[in-house]
Amino acid sequence: MSFIKKKTLANLKYSLSYYLTMFVLKLKGIKKDFSKDPIDYKKIRKEDVHLPTDRFFKQEKVRSFTIDKTRITEVKGDVDSNKLIILMHGGAFICGPAKHHWDVIKTISQKTGNTVWMCDYPKAPEHQIQEISNNIDLIYQHALEIHRSENISLMGDSAGATLITCLTQRLVKNKLDLPKRIILVSPVMDSSMTNPNISPIDEIDPMLSTTGILSAKRMCAGNLALNNEMLSPLNGSFEGFPQTTLFMAENDIMFPDELLAGDKMKNAQVDVELIVGNGMPHIWPFLPVMQEAKSALNKIIDILNS
């Protein structure tokens, strides 16, 4: 039986760490950077962390290898663990991973004991969505050579969650083995950003602007239209999806299209759980310091351990 759960992890009265996070976001000028056309991807990339300096990532159980043009950082799980978590980081297809992605990897590895792959895939504008998607397909194919599909979980935030969603659509279409579950954190469901309900949220979104997001997506699209399924999974099918968890944020310009995606999943009889962060910004479960983010990340860990 299909069902759709709606939960709220963030209370109407926010933590002090929430207000601190909002202040830091404003201080760093993230909204300003994502309000430019063309978007200054070189400036934004200065926050990228490709080789973390944290002692945790210098252990013997951590190794790196390459699949096509994607650098995989593997954190090996417990000796008896045969479970794999594949994480596709966000960054509007133009940047990343960032420090908060590595912090999430560390926490998930420590609290699940699963093997984790951080996928540092090729970025736009040097690479377009078709090439990036081919890389993602190869990563999953390689994972199936090592792990049973029912032991694989796919997770991503923002553009990374878009890549996970589109990969799942291709797997269903091609009748290939599906992962046990997918976890989507603030996915971009429609890169054309034409939903009229986006505009009022754009005014209060503390991180993103439609102008900058559209610029980044155009850099990634190549010859494809922005509403193509490879960039906009909302325009594809959700039939046959595995267990899905979708984290959304009210103060995120992606929210209106995520609601539409949730409805399409429900109509497709997907086992889906929607988790809405009241007053939360984009990718809120992955943000550092904020107590509401820690609660959401603990929820993700519970799902992975289930």
Which structure tokens are listed for 37? 């056309």
Q: Sheet with 3-8: list strands edge to edge.
A: 3-8, 271-277, 243-249, 181-185, 152-157, 84-88, 115-120, 70-75, 62-67
With contact defined as beta carbons under 8 Å apart, do 37 and 305 qualify? no
**How many other β-carbons are positioned within 10 Å of the β-carbon of residue 14?**
17
- The whole domain housing 180 covers 3-305
- Tens digits of per-residue pLDDT, 49-84? 999 999 999 999 999 999 999 999 999 998 778 999
Beta carbons of 187 and 156 less than 8 angstroms apart = yes
Q: How do the pLDDT tens digits run along the chain, 306 residues long?
A: 333 445 555 545 899 999 999 999 999 999 999 999 999 999 999 999 999 999 999 999 999 999 999 999 999 998 778 999 999 999 999 999 999 999 999 999 999 999 999 999 999 999 999 999 999 999 999 999 999 999 999 999 999 999 999 999 999 999 999 999 999 999 999 999 999 999 999 999 999 999 999 999 999 999 999 999 999 999 999 999 999 999 999 999 999 999 999 999 999 999 999 999 999 999 999 999 999 999 999 999 999 999
Domain count, the chain: 1
Both tokens of 179, joined, read: 């992962």
Could you give the CA distance from residue 264 to residue 77 in angstroms, rounded to a whole number?
35
Q: Is the peptide bond before 233 cis (omega within 30 degrees of 0)?
A: no
CATH number of the domain where residue 174 is located: 3.40.50.1820
Q: Count each helix (H run) and each strand (E run) in the chain, helices first.
A: 10, 9
